[in-house]
């Protein structure tokens, strides 16, 4: 789950990380009122979307009068902001964050994320603040200092000092950075402060903040779960979550329903190998009910890009007859209009196959995964 910049700053501020004062606004009038309340002579008006690269896309504007704040908000609210992370279609800006200005003397980078290669969190610090960390890693990797965090003990004070020294700051700013680093204390899968700004009095503060969370950890943080903005998410992904399904929209035309993340990835790979383009990743899980399977099928078919559907199920915990009944029920309810290939294997596979055969529906069965991939690609016209 992603959160907006202003929400990430509220979370960080709760742990003692310094941030600038700001107010959220949904209209230009609210933005004007926010600037008047904050006071001062300069403000930043920031589009709030779940995507990086806002500044380069014109989503962050500096205003030096209340009238300029109003004009900036009018320009941004309702605009479709296109950044490298949104794709060509962009995402609509529904709110802006009006933030007070500050006299900044230096910019640095701080981040923490999960390194899946070593199975631990990794904290990073760099003197190259305000620059995409991927660009720094590609061009000047020696400017990134990293420490690996043992999950049994968490971030240690000496590690925070090591990172703070890597930021090349004056003593007061360095000690402020240490406190900021040690404040990271959530189940976030990513925390990024870029830039970490140094202001005139030597304090460091989070000038920008990005956080996302593993949905599986939100039960421990109901307050963070309430920050979810479903308008920033694909409606199908949100609906899938409500049914306990794992769904991710892709850019192809072959809908996929599979049980198990590993099998789902293998299915996508085989479709691609045969020349097809998967339209989604969808894992119905190991213990899905007939209702969940039916809902999964409806979610796939609600995608206008889907021209064919492949169902690939290995029935271990899940029985093939349950899957078959869910498929038949869903196909009848939604009036299937695209080719459907089903590959079943495992518990009650003979019963499941018989249910599909006796349904009277236009369902093509496959003997193995390779056969299924070839048939579904052929159903969409062959290699694309």
**How does pLDDT run across 292-330, given as a tens digit for each residue?**
778 888 899 889 999 999 999 887 767 888 888 888 888
Whether the pLDDT of residue 334 is over 60: the answer is: yes
Kindly list the domain boundaries of the chain, sorted by start residue: 21-101, 104-233, 234-379
| 383 — pLDDT class (breaks 50, 70, 90) | low
Per the prediction, the chain carries an average pLDDT of: 89
Share of the chain above pLDDT 90, in %: 49
Q: Which of 300, 301, 356, 299 shows the shortest CA–CA distance to 323?
A: 356
- Residue 382 pLDDT: 65
Coil vs helix vs strand at 211: strand
Cβ-count burial of 144 within 10 angstroms (0-12 exposed, 13-18 middle, 19+ buried)? middle
Q: Which residues pair with residue 341 across a beta bridge?
A: 310, 364
Are 254 and 277 in contact, with CB atoms under 8 Å apart? Answer: yes
The pTM is what? Answer: 0.77
Per-residue pLDDT of 31-65, as tens digits, reads 999 999 999 999 999 999 998 888 888 999 999 99
Q: How far apart are CA 244 and CA 265, in angstroms?
A: 18
Alpha carbon distance, N-terminus to C-terminus of the chain: 33
**With left for phi above 0 and alpha for psi between -120 and 50, is residue 119 left, alpha or beta?**
left
- Residue 271 pLDDT: 95
Cα dist. 54→86, 177, 190, 380 in Å? Answer: 10, 25, 18, 37
Fold for the domain defined by 21-101: Dna Ligase; domain 1 (3.30.1490)
Average pLDDT over residues 190-207: 89
Are 19 and 74 in contact, with CB atoms under 8 Å apart? Answer: no
Q: Which of 104, 59, 122, 55 shows the shortest CA–CA distance to 205?
A: 104
Whether the pLDDT of residue 76 is over 60: the answer is: yes
Q: Side-chain half-sphere of 352: how many Cα atoms within 13 Å?
A: 25
Q: Which of 63, 83, 84, 87 shows the shortest CA–CA distance to 75?
A: 63
CATH 3.30.470.20 fits 104-233, yes or no: yes
Q: How far apart are CA 329 and CA 241, in angstroms?
A: 21
Helices (H), 130-169: 133-139, 157-166
Q: How far apart are CA 331 and CA 140, in angstroms?
A: 54
Which pair of tokens denotes residue 121?
Answer: 């969190």
Residue 109 bears catalytic tag: yes
Cβ atoms within 10 Å, residue 248: 14
Whether the pLDDT of residue 2 is over 60: the answer is: yes
Place of tokens 């030597």: 202
- Residue 272 pLDDT: 95
E strand intervals along the chain = 22-25, 43-47, 60-63, 80-81, 91-92, 96-100, 104-115, 120-126, 144-149, 188-199, 204-206, 210-213, 246-249, 254-258, 280-283, 308-315, 340-346, 364-365
Q: 22-36, 191-205, 316-330: lowest mean pLDDT where?
A: 316-330
Average pLDDT over residues 156-175: 90
Q: Which of 5, 6, 107, 109 is catalytic?
A: 109
Average pLDDT over residues 227-252: 84
Q: What is the CATH number of domain 234-379?
A: 3.40.50.261
Bridge-based pairing state of the strands 96-100 and 43-47:
antiparallel
Are 352 and 321 in contact, with CB atoms under 8 Å apart? Answer: yes
Q: How far apart are CA 364 and CA 357, in angstroms?
A: 9
- Residue 110 pLDDT: 92
Q: Which residue has the higher pLDDT, 39 or 243?
A: 39
Helices (H), 44-186: 66-76, 133-139, 157-166, 171-182
Cβ atoms within 10 Å, residue 128: 19
Place of tokens 């459907």: 340
| 131 — pLDDT class (breaks 50, 70, 90) | confident
| 286 — pLDDT class (breaks 50, 70, 90) | low
- Residue 384 pLDDT: 43
Q: Which of 192, 274, 290, 307 is catalytic?
A: 192
Are 26 and 197 in contact, with CB atoms under 8 Å apart? Answer: no
């Amino acid at each position: 789950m992603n959160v907006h910049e202003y929400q990430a700053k509220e979370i960080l501020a709760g742990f003692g990380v310094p941030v600038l004062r700001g107010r959220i606004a949904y209209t230009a009038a609210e933005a004007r009122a926010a600037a008047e309340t904050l006071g001062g002579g300069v403000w930043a008006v920031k589009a709030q979307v779940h995507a990086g690269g806002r500044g380069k896309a014109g989503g962050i504007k500096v205003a030096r009068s209340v009238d300029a704040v109003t004009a900036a908000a009018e320009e941004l609210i309702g605009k479709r902001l296109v950044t490298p992370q949104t794709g060509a279609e962009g995402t609509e800006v529904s709110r802006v964050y009006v933030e007070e200005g500050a006299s900044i003397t230096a910019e640095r980078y701080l981040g923490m994320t999960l390194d899946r290669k070593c199975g631990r969190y990794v904290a990073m610090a760099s003197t190259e603040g305000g620059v995409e960390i991927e660009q720094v890693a590609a061009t000047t990797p020696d400017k990134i200092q990293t420490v690996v965090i043992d999950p049994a003990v968490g971030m240690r004070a000496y590690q925070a000092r090591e990172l703070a020294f890597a930021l090349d700051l004056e003593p007061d700013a360095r000690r402020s950075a240490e406190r900021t680093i040690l404040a990271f204390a959530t189940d976030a899968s990513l925390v990024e402060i870029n830039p970490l700004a140094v202001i005139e009095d030597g304090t460091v503060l989070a000038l920008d903040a990005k956080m996302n969370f593993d949905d599986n950890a939100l039960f421990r943080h109901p307050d963070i779960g309430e920050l979810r903005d479903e308008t920033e998410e694909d409606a199908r992904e949100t609906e899938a979550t409500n049914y306990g399904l794992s769904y991710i929209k892709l850019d192809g035309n072959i809908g996929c329903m599979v049980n198990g993340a590993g099998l789902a990835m293998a299915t996508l790979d085989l479709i691609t190998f045969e020349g097809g383009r998967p339209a989604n990743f969808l894992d119905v899980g190991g213990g899905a009910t007939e209702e969940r399977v039916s809902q999964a099928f409806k979610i796939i078919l609600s995608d206008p890009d889907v021209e064919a559907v492949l169902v690939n199920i290995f029935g271990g915990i899940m029985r093939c007859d349950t899957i078959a009944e869910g498929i038949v029920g869903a196909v009848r309810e939604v009036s299937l209009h695209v080719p459907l290939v089903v590959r079943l294997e495992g518990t009650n596979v003979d019963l499941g196959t018989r249910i599909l055969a006796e349904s009277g529906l236009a369902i093509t069965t496959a003997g193995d995964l390779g056969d299924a991939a070839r048939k579904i690609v052929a159903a969409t016209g062959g290699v694309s």
